[in-house]
Chain A
Amino acid sequence: MVQEQAAAAGANDAAPSAKDAEQQQPKPFSVKEGMQGIITLLEKAVKTKETRLLMGRLMRQTAMVRKHMTASDLVAFINTYLPMDSKSAGFLKGYVMQDGDTAPMEDDATAAGDAGDGADAGSAPGPSQLPEVELYMYLLLLVNLLDRKQFAQAREVADTAVGLLQQHNRRTLDAIGARIYFYYSWAYECTGALADVRSTLMAAHCTAGLRHDAVGQETLLNLLLRNYLAYNLYDQAEKFRSKAQKADTWRVPGQYCRYLYYLGTIRAIQLEYTEAKEVLQQASRKAPTCAHGFRVACNKWLILVRLLLGEVPERVEFSAPGMRTPLAPYFELTCAVRSGDLAQFRVVSEKFAAAFRADRTTNLITRLQYNVIRTGLRRINLAYSRISLKDVAEKLALPSAVDAEYICAKAIRDGGIDAVLDHAGGFLATRELTDLYSTNEPQAAFHERIAFCLNLHNEAVKAMRFEPDAHKRALAAANGGKEQMSVEEIARAIEEEEEDDM
């Protein structure tokens, strides 16, 4: 890839474009060459119908180009790579020129010159008729507008792009199409009109399912879940998720992580904490290292779910790099729950009420009150072999001994504490402690770990990818060698025979 770019640079040195002069600092990575590389990649991929190549490399290179791109660059690219008379070219240029920094006229001339040189050199592609290139231009413009926070315009561009996308049914368009839908939903979310988009996304999801467009299906599923959850429609989100068609394996790991996160939040709200914990842990582990915000959000929910399950998260998790500030409220909450102090818990939840509301975790935190009481009871139970109910009420800041009696009875029934109540005497007595190793606890703990390792092994096997023709090549090499040898041998043998005859 680097050699190609260097060659292209060398060939185009003949016509120093105004573009290079405009770039203030000499960048080691030239946007123009990046674009040329991408367009070549696109055309090659479409010709060979290779969809996987598109996914990985294209997105990585787009990410690189995105950082350095300016409005004038965009205009130049549109002129170079889209046929001059196409409707899209005019439409796109209109949007770019609304807020272009420099005069576009110069760039037209120089871009035309570049295109000419490019055609001469033969290494840079010219205007292309492919719908992929067209839609890729839309994608670039969308990304640019969103980066500059011009959401209203991005919305309009997205609308047109989606309309155009729905006219085609090409598998090579899947990756680009999925991205376009993603930014379409994002533009609407930033302008606060997410509900309007729901029906379009739903229709697109059904179509993607019919066409076996796996990438599109995944992306749209996640976008719809996000849509429902943004409005707290957990019920509908769950119904959709359970009925939606999902592919067997997930093509894009990022989408899988997102799906797991949404699933985890739904389960947490529905009081199914064990499943929520599993799923959220998986999401957090599979997320790439650069997905910082996602990890933070995952961890917030994970902490709450673990607290609700009765386990206390480790202190190490809170002090991981970059996590300390966002997780600070949750850290204080954990301390309050761990100490079983109801008064402190109330103080902490009041103090950080705004933060919790922004994270939408307020209701979960209200549920934690019971856990605080239970932890408090457990500590009392461990410390005292026998304690009067009045003292229990005092320690837990409960209104009366009668309340304490009821609460203790419930805790005993739920298995939170191992004790017996004596009504006549009015006290709580701990039962004899049994040896932990004689119960089934160790076996259960082992089983969890074993199951996790086996699961990991299975997933690793499923995730392995082999080059589709690798085995054929190996086979051909082995056979070819043998055959050739045999042909030569036969020829030699015949010659020798003839000589002998002679």
Chain B
Amino acid sequence: MSLLKEAQQLLDKLKTAHKKNDWPAGKAVLGQLRIKLIQLPAVPPNTGFSSPTAQQELLLARDVYEHAVLLALKSQDEAALESSFTQLKTFYADTRSLLPAAPQEWMFAGLDLLRLLVANRIAEFHTELELIPAEGMTVPHVVSAVQLEQWLMEGAYNKVLAAGKSLPPECSFAVEQLSATVREEIASCAEASYSSLKLADAQVLMMMTSKKELEQFAEQHGWAIEGDLVHFHRAAADDANAEQHLRLINQSLLYAKELERIV
């Protein structure tokens, strides 16, 4: 029982650290809390031991993991974010039968989806999406994550950037990275589809605020700026040729090998 009380006190400390956005302090408290959680008998992976305070312990553990995720989000620490999300998800899965459903479960699922989307891990995004049932699909976080993915796939980047400004507050970590990704995408699309573009138009297209930014960007990508126009390079055809030759050679070798095998 005293174990539970101690854990509760630590959790309160964690909450205050979270409110103050104090990542180092929060991390320290989190470390202590994790040790306490292992000692509590009813928390997974200690399933099999039932104790009179089982429900409280499980609720406590859930609170701890959720706050761990929120803290990691605020501090933008990638590795911590990854590990805390994994822990939270496994915890939800394990205790689905033991605890009443938490409405915030789907909010966290939505945040996870957003994180995967921004990191361009689309295959994992979709496998996670499969796990969300119909009732989870109406939660605003999930809805915005799915919409963003659709728009990114279609190529409606202007919508993506507009939506980025209107995301819920927890998703602030995503907005910056999203803008960067989107800008890169627009740049590569523009390279392939325009032969040349006026500077002013290019600026609007890539949603940049100043001409200088555009010039820097253009230098990075190897575009030539002549007067008022930006000329996009076309990729050299030589690489393509070499690749083709290699492919033909491989194919011919395959045929030779297989035919020899036919007795």
Q: Are these two chains actual partners, yes or no?
A: yes
Residue positions of A touching B, CB distance < 8 A:
232-235, 238, 269-272, 357, 363, 366-367, 369-370, 373, 402-403, 406-413, 419-424, 440, 443, 447, 450-451, 454, 457-458
Q: A-side binding surface: helix, strand, loop or mixed?
A: helix
Which chain B residues border A423 with CB–CB below 8 Å? 194, 197-198, 201, 205
The stretch among B20-28, B44-52, B75-83, B248-256 that forms the contact with chain A is B248-256
A403 pairs with B150, CB closer than 8 A? no
A440 pairs with B126, CB closer than 8 A? no
B201 pairs with A413, CB closer than 8 A? no
A366 pairs with B127, CB closer than 8 A? no
A440 pairs with B130, CB closer than 8 A? no
9 further A-B pairs in the complex, CB-CB below 8 A; given A409-B186, A409-B192, A457-B258: A232-B130, A271-B126, A369-B150, A369-B154, A408-B193, A409-B194, A422-B194, A423-B201, A423-B205
B129 pairs with A363, CB closer than 8 A? yes
A363-B123 Cα distance, complex, nearest whole Å: 13
A270 pairs with B127, CB closer than 8 A? yes
B188 pairs with A413, CB closer than 8 A? yes
A-contact 0/1 string along B148-172, CB 8 Å cutoff: 0010011111110000000000000
A235 pairs with B201, CB closer than 8 A? no
A410-B198 Cα distance, complex, nearest whole Å: 19
A269 pairs with B126, CB closer than 8 A? yes
**A270-B123, A369-B150 known; A409-B131 Cβ under 8 A:** no
B179 CB to nearest A CB, Å: 15
- Name the 10 nearest CB pairs between A and B, nearest first: A410-B155, A409-B189, A413-B192, A412-B193, A421-B193, A409-B193, A454-B258, A413-B189, A270-B123, A232-B130
B198 pairs with A406, CB closer than 8 A? no
A225-B205 Cα distance, complex, nearest whole Å: 47
B262 pairs with A409, CB closer than 8 A? no
Q: Does B16 contact A (CB under 8 A)?
A: no
B193 pairs with A403, CB closer than 8 A? no
Partner of A370, one of B146, B154, B244, B248: B154
A403-B194 Cα distance, complex, nearest whole Å: 16
B213 CB to nearest A CB, Å: 19
Q: Does B122 contact A (CB under 8 A)?
A: yes
Residue positions of B touching A, CB distance < 8 A:
122-124, 126-131, 134, 146, 150, 153-159, 185-186, 188-195, 197-198, 201, 205, 244, 248, 251, 254-255, 258, 261-262
A148-B193 Cα distance, complex, nearest whole Å: 65
B251 pairs with A403, CB closer than 8 A? no
A373-B155 Cα distance, complex, nearest whole Å: 11
A366 pairs with B156, CB closer than 8 A? no
A367-B146 Cα distance, complex, nearest whole Å: 10
Which chain A residues border B205 with CB–CB below 8 Å? 423
A409 pairs with B154, CB closer than 8 A? no
A412 pairs with B192, CB closer than 8 A? yes
Which chain A residues border B251 with CB–CB below 8 Å? 443, 447
Partner of A234, one of B127, B157, B195: B127
Which chain A residues border B154 with CB–CB below 8 Å? 369-370, 373, 407, 410
B214 CB to nearest A CB, Å: 14
Which chain B residues border A411 with CB–CB below 8 Å? 155
**A270-B123, A440-B244 known; A366-B150 Cβ under 8 A:** yes
Partner of A403, one of B124, B129, B158, B189: B158
**A271-B122, A413-B188, A443-B248 known; A406-B158 Cβ under 8 A:** yes
A269 pairs with B159, CB closer than 8 A? no
A319 CB to nearest B CB, Å: 31
Partner of B198, one of A369, A408, A424: A424
Which chain B residues border A363 with CB–CB below 8 Å? 126, 129-130
B239 CB to nearest A CB, Å: 15
A451-B156 Cα distance, complex, nearest whole Å: 39
Q: Which residue in chain B gives the minimum CB-CB distance to A372?
A: B154
A406 pairs with B244, CB closer than 8 A? no
Which chain A residues border B131 with CB–CB below 8 Å? 232-233
B189 pairs with A412, CB closer than 8 A? yes
Which chain B residues border A238 with CB–CB below 8 Å? 127
**A412-B192, A423-B194 known; A406-B130 Cβ under 8 A:** no
Q: Which residue in chain A gives the minimum CB-CB distance to B194?
A: A421
B255 pairs with A402, CB closer than 8 A? no
B153 pairs with A370, CB closer than 8 A? yes
B232 CB to nearest A CB, Å: 11
Sample of 22 A–B contacts (CB below 8 Å):
A232-B130, A235-B124, A270-B126, A271-B122, A370-B154, A403-B156, A406-B158, A406-B189, A408-B193, A409-B194, A410-B155, A419-B193, A420-B194, A420-B195, A421-B194, A422-B194, A423-B201, A423-B205, A424-B198, A443-B251, A454-B254, A454-B255
Which chain B residues border A373 with CB–CB below 8 Å? 154
A304-B127 Cα distance, complex, nearest whole Å: 17
Which chain A residues border B191 with CB–CB below 8 Å? 413
Which chain A residues border B153 with CB–CB below 8 Å? 367, 370
Q: Which residue in chain A gives the minimum CB-CB distance to B128?
A: A235
Which chain A residues border B150 with CB–CB below 8 Å? 366, 369-370
B155 pairs with A457, CB closer than 8 A? no
B193 pairs with A407, CB closer than 8 A? no
A363 CB to nearest B CB, Å: 6
B123 pairs with A413, CB closer than 8 A? no
A424 pairs with B127, CB closer than 8 A? no
Which chain A residues border B195 with CB–CB below 8 Å? 420
Which chain B residues border A269 with CB–CB below 8 Å? 126-127, 130
